[in-house]
Structure 1
C-alpha cells in the first residue's frame, strides 16, 4: 500500500513526510491515553488502534514505533522483528476499568491493581514510563476519592503531593523527547493541575484549623485579649509565610510548566472545613476583630488561595453543601 498523501492546491498528490505522520499518530494516541485514564466514561474508539496499522506502510511503521514507546519493555512487542504479537486493545480496556474504579469505587482500586499486576503483561515489570505515569495518576485519584467519597480525612496529606509531582515529572522526562508532549502532555498537565488543587486544599484546611484554635483561645481568654493579641497575630503571619513557601516550592518543581489550575469543587472544598470556617468567621464580633483582625486575616488568605471565579462562587456561601 502506498504512503499516505494529500492533494496540493495545484492538484498534485504529495506524500506526507514520516515525521508528520508520527506527530499525527502521537497526538491521536495521546488523546486516547488521556481519555482512558482521566475520562473513563468517554468511550474510546478502539478500532482506530487496529486501523492505523493498516492505512499504509508509513502509518504502520510510525504506529508500531509509538506503541513500542507506550508498551516499552513489555512482551506486547517483539522488538527484534518490530511487529505486533498481541492486540493492544485489551490493555486499553484494563486501564479504563482501573480508571473507573479509581474515580467511583476507590476502595476496590488497589485490589484490582494487584490482580492486573499478576495477569496483564502491560503491568508487569519493567513497566513503560507511560504506564508508570498513568498508574501514578490513578493511584492519586483513588486516594483523592477515598477522601471525597469515603471521608478518609487521614489521607489528605498523601493526595497529589509535591513528591508525587516530582515522581510524575521524572516518568514524563523518561519518555522519548520527540513524542513526549504529544503522548502524555495533556495527562501531565492534568496531574500538575490536580497537585495545585490539593496543595491549596491542604493550606486551606490548615488555615481553618489554625483559625478555630484562635477562636477557642478567644473564648477562654477574654480578660487577657490585649496581652495575647500580638502573639496570635504573630502566629497568623507565620502561617501566611508558610503558604508563600509552599507556592514557591510548587513553582520551583514545575519550573515554568504551563498548566491551568482546575476549579476547586464544592466537595473538595468541603473536606477543608471551609464552609464551617466561613460561618465562624462571620460570627466574630467587632470587639474580637478589633484586637485580632481575624476577618481580615481570613479574607486575605482566602484571596491568595482561591481564584476569582472560586471566590465569586464560594465567598458568600454560608451553608455547607450537602
Structure 2
C-alpha cells in the first residue's frame, strides 16, 4: 500500500512527459497497459498479496512510458507495453490466487469454530427438540379444536345462507320478480301510482317495503330504478313523467332505509315498450317502473335494445 503514491506519481510523470512532446506518442497496447495498471493499483489485494510482482509490472510500464517519451519506434513501444501488460496481469493473478488461499484458510478456521459451536449447541438442540415436540402436541390439540369450531361456524353460516336464500326466493316470488341476465326485475305498474302522477299508492309502497327488506338482507346487491311511459302525449312530457316516477321510487327506497349509494336511476320515457301502444290495456303495461335487483356482488349491465 505504501508504494502506491510513488507509483502513481511515476505514471503521471511519464504521461506528462509524453504529453509535453510536440506530438504525443502512444499505442493502443500502451494505453491498455496504463489502464490495467490503474485498475491493479486500485485493487487492495494486489498490494497485499503481490507487491513484488506489482513492482516488476510498474518497472516494465515505466520502461514503456520512457520509450514513448523518447518517441522511439512504435514497435519498440508496443513491445515494452506488451511486456508491462503481461506483468500487470501476472500481478493480478498472483494476488487473486493468494487471496483465494487466504479465504480458504479463513474458511478452515471458521469451520473449526462452527464445529465447536455445533458440539456446544447439540445438547441445547436436543432440549429444544423435546420442547418443540411438546409444543407441537399442544398445537395439534389447539388446531383440532379450531378445526371443529370452524366446521361448526361453517355449518351455521351455510344454514344462515340457505335460510337467507329461501327468504329471498319467497320475497321475489311474492313480488313477481322475473330473473334476467341483468338480475331480478320487479315491475311497479301504472296502477301503483296515482293517475298520471308520480306519487305511489299504498300498494306501491307495500311493494317497495318488501324490496327494502331484500336489500337489507342482501348488502352485496344494488338496484337500478328505470322509468317508462306509453307513447301518448309529447315525448318531452313522457320523459319527465318517467323521470318523476323513477325519482319517486328511488326516494321511497331511500326513506325505507336503502343507502342511496346502492340505488341508481334511469328514465327512458316511451322507449323500450313491453307491448304495442295500440290499446288502453297495452299502453297501461308500458306505463311502469322497473326495479332491477343486481346479482350477488355484481354490477347491473346496461339495458340493450331487446330488454
TM-score normalised by the shorter chain: which range applies?
A: under 0.3
TM-score by length of 1: 0.22
In the superposition, the TM-score normalised over structure 2's length comes to 0.23
Q: Which structure's CA Rg is the greater one?
A: 2
More helix by share: 1
**Bigger share in strand:** 2
